[in-house]
């Protein structure tokens, strides 16, 4: 019987080969360069094998506001900046993270999400309410009293409980929604320092986000914290070290940087590039870097920062150098936080250059990790109303003019559906003599919405590689990201066992 | 409590001297971009230093004036819906320019691009009437919507 099955199988294989051979000979365009490239890509897909080993490490890249058009435009821009064909260019994360899915980003109460509940979905596995962080659908927005019983456990807390190292890196304020979701639980995302807390929250004992970071009770705390938002950790009486004449924002008298430093004698606090470069993972076990009073600079402006700032790639690599000291493994979030801000400003050039900075960070991380034992994911929290339009010719500058409209004026390839680029009850501007490739140019928009363009509700992409990355396929809910990370690491069970062992 | 304005003033008084450079009326206004203001932090570029006392034209946005009948506005690189210069608590950007006008400002919507022309001044200065502090100014500013 077995012999018969074998023969049948061999016969089927031969038949398949024969079919393939005849199919190829029946096709006229097999020598065409696109056809050849398509065949090569097919071979890659056939050769890929799912990895079902346990993930030792997890690196979660979150690119705030990375819509699909942002990926496409950044890919083209990066290629054009290097002088190669932009349209067929490949960003590092497209090449290195082959498993993909579409992520549905709606939240418990909104068609279009903000960054707070979406970050909760990514790191805690539940959809929640816009404007809230680290809490379930049971929360009431800005209502401190509703927090009790609604708080979630994050993957980072599980990792700490299980004895892994943890890190959070962002170019935004480290108290901003996305990084905050790894450690904070608040009914209001704006509660970044105590001065932002409403009276009801103070009376109810709700703590601001910066204080929650320093007081984080999980394990022995983050080994790595790199980002902006220094003002939320210093008091109004503490002068900012970089920003002349400015102080911290805290009014409760808590010097959170001083508290962190006192608590962790195995760590180092830094606020500028010089201090960052001096961090030697051989000598310290943890690092706390706050490189700007508010958000860190856009990549396009980073060189002009007064104190100097590390790049996202430099921060990610340094983070892994520190986290990798833990033999149990690590969980790291790396956020490209300012793609979103540039889009809100209607400024495509900065959104694209910040996306390219993320691609460079992914490339740099891959030089540090073992891909077979590290689950690497890159995704966005939500989309933006950003589009690539017209019929520009192949190779046309992506920041350039696509053609002329019915009003006789040129229009750009990139544009926004709403935001600051729109005129209020006036015809749009004539771009004939305008350099639309200038980094400060704001793309035109249809609907005037003040200084801030809006998020969009379309799906975003999840890219992944490593253990269990193959689970990302199809159209999935955003909160699946947490569930795959947990499944790949087994951290819920490991944390429970560690807690049990500690109790005994 | 020491306010940021007082701190800024105390730290920068020696920088006021270049303000006295006479206006070079004969030169056509030179275009100056926001990105050409600073090398790093508050360190001015050679171009910006060289233009002190001369008439320049800058393109940007008019932040909403603080109140009606006021003779200054803030020129910003990107649109800002609040006057960044007037809100001490706001996270206002470093690269803003105070435009001092000879007559009351006629507001232009903060998302409309404008061209402002005036005599370029650098160095911290506190306005005696309002107490507002600035580092870069266009004095005698005229402006037009683009």
Give the span between the Cα atoms of A423 and A441, in whole angstroms.
15
Give the span between the Cα atoms of B138 and B99, in whole angstroms.
5
Tens-digit pLDDT profile for residues A19-60: 555 667 899 999 999 999 999 999 999 999 999 999 999 999
Tens-digit pLDDT profile for residues A356-371: 999 999 999 999 999 9
pTM of the model as a whole: 0.89
φ, ψ dihedrals at A42, nearest 5°? -60, -45
Interface test with A, best of B41, B44, B64 (most A CBs within 10 A): B41
* pLDDT for residue A137: 98
| B110/A451 touch (CB, cutoff 8 Å), yes or no | yes
Q: How many CB atoms lie within 10 A of CB B13?
A: 13
Evaluated on CA atoms A230, B11, A299, B56, the torsion sign reads: positive
DSSP for residue A247: B
Average pLDDT across chain A, whole number: 94
Of the partner residues A244, A304, A347, the one whose CB lies closest to the CB of residue B11: A244
Nearest Cα to Cα of residue A361 among A346, A378, A344: A378
Tens-digit pLDDT profile for residues A80-111: 999 999 999 999 999 999 999 999 999 999 99
DSSP for residue A177: H
Average pLDDT across chain B, whole number: 77
pLDDT beyond 80 at A325: yes
What's the domain range around B50? Answer: 4-11+32-145
| A448/B91 touch (CB, cutoff 8 Å), yes or no | no
Interface test with B, best of A422, A451, A453 (most B CBs within 10 A): A451
pLDDT beyond 50 at A340: yes
| 8 A C-beta contact, residue A61 and residue A379 | yes
Of the partner residues B33, B78, B111, the one whose CB lies closest to the CB of residue A448: B111
Q: Retrieve residue A244's tokens.
A: 């002349």
Mean pLDDT of A196-219: 97
Residue with tokens 């009326």: B25
Tens-digit pLDDT profile for residues A154-206: 999 999 999 999 999 999 999 999 999 999 999 999 999 999 999 999 999 99
Mean pLDDT of A136-143: 98
pLDDT beyond 50 at B61: yes
CA distance A306 to chain B (A): 4
Mean pLDDT of B124-145: 86
Least confident of A267-271, A461-465, B124-128: B124-128
- CATH superfamily assigned to domain A57-385+454-503: Alkaline Phosphatase, subunit A (3.40.720.10)
Nearest Cα to Cα of residue A467 among A47, A59, A126: A59
pLDDT beyond 50 at B14: no
pLDDT beyond 50 at A9: no
* pLDDT for residue B64: 84
Q: How far is CA A391 from the centre of its chain?
A: 31
Q: Look up the CATH number of the domain holding residue B87.
A: 2.40.50.140
Task: Read off the pLDDT band of B80 (50, 70, 90).
Answer: confident
Residues 145-164 of A with CB under 8 A from B: none
SS (H, E, C) chain B: CCCHHHHHHHHHHHHHHHHHCCCCCCCCCEECCHHHCEEECCEECHHHHHHCCCEEEEEEEECCCCCCCCCEEEEECCCCCCCCCCCCCCCCCCCCEEEECCCCCCCCCCCCEEEEEEEEEEEEEECCCCCCEEEEEEEEEEEEEC
Domain-located, residue B16 = no
- Half-sphere exposure of residue B106: CA atoms within 13 angstroms, side-chain side: 5
Residue B67 at interface with chain A, using a CB cutoff of 8 Å: no
Task: Read off the pLDDT band of B8 (50, 70, 90).
Answer: very low
Q: Retrieve residue A129's tokens.
A: 């309410």
Which of residues B122 and B66 earns the better pLDDT score?
B122
* pLDDT for residue A267: 97
* pLDDT for residue B2: 32
Tens-digit pLDDT profile for residues A428-446: 999 998 999 999 999 999 9
* pLDDT for residue B84: 60
Mean pLDDT of A316-341: 98
Percent of chain A with pLDDT over 90: 92
Residues 86-125 of B with CB under 8 A from A: 91, 109-113
Which of residues B76 and A13 earns the better pLDDT score?
B76
pLDDT beyond 90 at B97: yes
Q: How many CB atoms lie within 10 A of CB A72?
A: 15
pLDDT beyond 50 at A114: yes
Task: Read off the pLDDT band of B126 (50, 70, 90).
Answer: confident
| A–B CB contacts, 8 A cutoff, strictly below | 63
Tens-digit pLDDT profile for residues A397-431: 999 999 999 999 999 999 999 999 999 899 999 99
Which of residues A504 and A387 earns the better pLDDT score?
A387
Number of domains in chain B: 1
* pLDDT for residue B41: 84
Tens-digit pLDDT profile for residues A266-279: 999 999 999 999 99
Calculate ∠ Cα A228-A273-A82, nearest 5°: 90
Chain A residues whose CB is inside 8 A of the B34 CB are 440
Tens-digit pLDDT profile for residues A233-246: 999 999 999 987 78
Percent of chain B with pLDDT over 70: 73
| 8 A C-beta contact, residue A416 and residue A394 | no
Residue B34 at interface with chain A, using a CB cutoff of 8 Å: yes
Angle at which helices A312-323 and A348-366 cross, to 10°: 30
Q: How many CB atoms lie within 10 A of CB B97?
A: 26
Nearest Cα to Cα of residue A294 among A387, A171, A430, A161: A171
Residue B145 at interface with chain A, using a CB cutoff of 8 Å: no
Of the partner residues A245, A306, A422, the one whose CB lies closest to the CB of residue B40: A306
**Closest chain B residue to A240, measured at CA:** B4
Of the partner residues B34, B42, B78, the one whose CB lies closest to the CB of residue A306: B42
Domain-located, residue B25 = no
């Amino acid at each position: 019987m077995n012999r018969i099955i074998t023969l049948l199988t061999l016969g089927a294989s031969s038949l398949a080969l024969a079919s393939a051979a005849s199919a190829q000979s029946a096709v006229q365009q097999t020598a065409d360069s696109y056809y050849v490239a398509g065949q090569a890509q097919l071979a890659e897909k056939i050769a890929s094998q799912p990895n079902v080993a346990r993930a030792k490490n997890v690196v979660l890249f979150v690119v705030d506001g990375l819509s699909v058009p942002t990926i496409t435009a950044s890919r083209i821009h990066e290629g054009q900046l290097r002088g190669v064909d932009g349209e067929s260019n490949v960003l590092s994360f497209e090449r290195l993270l082959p498993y993909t899915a579409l992520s549905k980003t709606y939240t418990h109460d909104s068609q279009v999400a903000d960054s707070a509940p979406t970050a909760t979905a990514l790191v805690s596995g539940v959809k929640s309410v816009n404007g809230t962080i680290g809490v379930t659908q049971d929360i009431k927005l800005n209502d401190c009293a509703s927090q009790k019983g609604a708080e979630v456990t994050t993957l980072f807390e599980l990792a700490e409980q299980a004895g892994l190292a943890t890190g959070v890196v962002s170019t935004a304020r480290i108290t901003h929604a996305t990084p905050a979701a790894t450690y904070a639980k608040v009914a209001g995302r704006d509660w970044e320092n105590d001065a932002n807390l409403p009276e009801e929250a103070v009376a109810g004992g709700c703590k601001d986000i910066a204080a929650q970071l320093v007081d984080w009770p999980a394990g022995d705390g983050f080994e790595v914290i790199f980002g902006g938002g220094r003002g939320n950790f210093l008091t109004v009486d503490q002068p900012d070290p970089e920003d002349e004449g400015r102080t911290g924002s805290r009014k409760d008298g808590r010097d959170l940087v001083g508290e962190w430093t006192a608590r962790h004698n195995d760590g180092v606090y830094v606020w500028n590039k010089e201090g960052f470069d001096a961090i030697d993972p051989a000598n310290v076990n943890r690092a706390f870097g706050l490189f700007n009073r508010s958000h860190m600079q856009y990549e396009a402006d980073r060189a002009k920062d007064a104190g100097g700032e590390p790049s996202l790639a430099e921060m990610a690599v340094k983070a892994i150098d520190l986290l990798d000291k833990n033999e149990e493994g690590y969980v790291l979030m790396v956020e490209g936080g300012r793609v979103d801000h540039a889009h809100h400003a209607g400024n495509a050039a900065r959104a694209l250059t910040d996306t390219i900075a993320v691609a460079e960070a992914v490339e740099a991380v891959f030089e540090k990790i073992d891909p077979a034992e590290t689950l690497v994911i890159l995704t966005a929290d939500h989309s933006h109303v950003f589009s690539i339009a017209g019929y520009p010719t192949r190779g046309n500058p992506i920041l350039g003019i696509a053609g002329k409209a019915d009003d006789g004026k040129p229009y750009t390839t990139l544009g926004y559906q709403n935001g600051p680029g729109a005129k209020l009850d006036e015809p749009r501007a004539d771009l004939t003599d305008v350099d639309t490739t200038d980094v400060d140019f704001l793309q035109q928009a249809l609907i005037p919405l003040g200084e801030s363009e809006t998020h969009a509700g379309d799906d975003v992409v999840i890219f992944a590689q490593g253990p269990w990355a193959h689970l990302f396929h199809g159209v999935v809910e955003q909160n699946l990201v947490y569930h795959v990370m947990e499944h790949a690491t087994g951290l819920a069970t490991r944390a429970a066992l560690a807690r049990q062992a500690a109790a005994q | 409590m020491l306010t940021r304005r007082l701190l800024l003033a105390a730290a920068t008084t020696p920088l006021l001297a270049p303000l006295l450079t006479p206006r070079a009326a004969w030169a056509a206004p030179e275009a100056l971009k926001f990105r050409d203001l600073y090398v790093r932090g508050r360190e001015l570029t050679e171009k910006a230093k060289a233009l002190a006392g001369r008439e320049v034209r800058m393109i940007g946005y008019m932040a909403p004036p603080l109140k009606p009948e006021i003779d200054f506005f803030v020129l910003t690189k990107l649109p800002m819906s609040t006057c960044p210069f007037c809100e001490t608590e706001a996270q206002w950007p470093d690269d803003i320019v105070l435009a001092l006008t000879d007559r009351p400002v006629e507001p232009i919507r903060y998302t409309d691009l404008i061209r402002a022309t005036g005599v370029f001044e650098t160095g911290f200065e506190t306005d005696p009437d309002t107490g507002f502090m600035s580092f870069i100014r266009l004095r005698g500013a005229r402006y037009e919507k683009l």
